[in-house]
Chain A
């Protein structure tokens, strides 16, 4: 796992805030310290409003790092994201980061890389794809294949970015309005052949049911899977033990031991 760098407590300026799809937003923040330290898979912990409503911060994966700016990509899910979506360009946002462990990758990178995203789960995978692309540029034998699943065509996110970064991009929509009709996990099953096996690393993020299905598929094909997981996170620093998940080594904190876990280690009820 990557070494944890310094953590910054910042009031950052919102450089841009775009509504990129129904209920989906992209926010760019000026945060040079975080941009310098961040690793793919890490997150920032955001106070969406002043005061105590809502009380807790909200965690967001770092979507991209461009020079001195960081981006987050999010979907309105509840009160916190609803309030965040109303924040305006030029305003200051209270954030802590970068937090968490990040996706493991590097020199000894496996030959085949699969990126599997379900909906907003694409958020951390673009930053990862950019880093993997840098490795690929030095070591051209690597194949990066992205599988992107969405409900309908309107919710297909980051297709262009993926096409620029990956060897191949496959898309699925649940209603068949774009690409393969069905779930991204079905698309994954169709795409896998026995030669994928032990030389493949799969990175993923998305809904729980998708991750559970990927775990089953990965088991059959003996693929190593690293997934970014979610829980209700309070402190974000590993202090309160509130965001644990069950693993083979007992309870682990999503905010500090994760959010990225080897799926083989994770025990779901």
Chain B
């Protein structure tokens, strides 16, 4: 008997529970074969904003111990050019499309959601309120404040019936209260976590190793912290979670499912191995088969919390 890997995220049905994190996978001709063969549950776009953004000055990537620090700065062509030039390519594939949206003001998110709501091939919106490389009107990330989180998600909710995923930041004191605010605003699912604020300094010049002063840390270095946050939120908030943060193996991914994630996303791992998502899907299947489960759902949130070893 085959293994059932399908999961539901709001109204969205995924054939496999493995996605790519926004901004870590391209959509040009050289990615076509990878998209077709990687057994992705859905395609997630790079974050799109209302107007084009040039992005931050280089260097934008610095390698750190088991991680990378990035300051890309949401470089993108803006919503209209995205719809015109990039969307047709993304619609060639027979997998659901999740469009990530970002902005500097709450209204931006509402406007973007309204514009995308008219396009029926787009299955779902991921609301990126946690990019560490963007200046917002609140002076902090939207996802660092319960009211702003609620406000952005609500603005999107009022503009679309599509499934909404709120992408949260780990740079908070209480991730559960932020997750609850996203739920209250009308989110159908949560994606956690985005990158951690971080910096690297060149001791000779005493300047940042990035073109910006600081950036977002990702990769295996953050995995245990991301896993902890997924676990905490899954216990407290009744929404499906897309778990992410340093996943580079099937074992990493399985830990997120057991902690309570319904789906997982791979980000930095794609840079190391562009076929990593397929290998992770195969590894999950193997684990389920070996342990006599028939569905990925059999292991979601099944952590054994006994500690007296």
Contact = CB atoms under 8 A, between A and B. Distances in A.
Contact of A239 (B26, B29, B275): B26
B60 A241 contact: yes
A133 interface: no
A235 B66 contact: no
Contact of A4 (B30, B70, B272): B30
A16 B88 CA distance: 46
A244 B61 CA distance: 10
A220 interface: no
Contacts of B237: none
Interface in A219-256: 231-246, 250-251, 256
B59 A250 contact: no
B270 A239 contact: yes
Interface string A44-67: 000100001111110000000000
B294 interface: no
Chain B interface size, under 10 / 10 to 19 / 20 to 34 / 35 or more: 35 or more
B65 to A, nearest CB: 8
B54 A237 contact: no
B177 interface: no
A188 B62 CA distance: 34
Given A232-B61, A235-B274, A56 B68 contact: yes
Interface residues of A, number: 31
B268 A251 contact: no
B295 interface: no
B223 to A, nearest CB: 10
B58 A244 contact: yes
Contacts of A250: 54
Interface SS of B by simple majority? loop
Contacts, number: 96
B248 interface: yes
Contact of B59 (A57, A231, A237): A231
B186 interface: no
Contacts of A231: 58-59
B271 A96 contact: no
B30 A55 contact: no
A241 B29 CA distance: 16
Contact of A56 (B29, B57, B63): B63
B31 to A, nearest CB: 7
B278 to A, nearest CB: 11
Given A52-B248, A234-B68, A241 B62 contact: no
Nearest to B58: A244
A238 B28 CA distance: 8
Contacts of A236: 271
Given A54-B63, A235-B24, A240 B58 contact: no
B96 to A, nearest CB: 19
A237 B274 contact: yes
A55 B26 contact: no
Contact of A243 (B54, B61, B67, B248): B61
A55 B272 contact: yes
A55 B68 contact: yes
Nearest to B34: A237
Interface of B: 23-31, 46, 54-55, 57-63, 66-68, 70, 72, 75, 219-220, 248, 268, 270-275
Given A231-B59, A234-B70, A240-B271, 18 more contacts: A52-B272, A55-B67, A57-B272, A96-B274, A232-B61, A235-B26, A235-B274, A240-B23, A240-B72, A241-B55, A241-B60, A243-B58, A243-B60, A244-B60, A246-B58, A250-B54, A251-B54, A256-B28
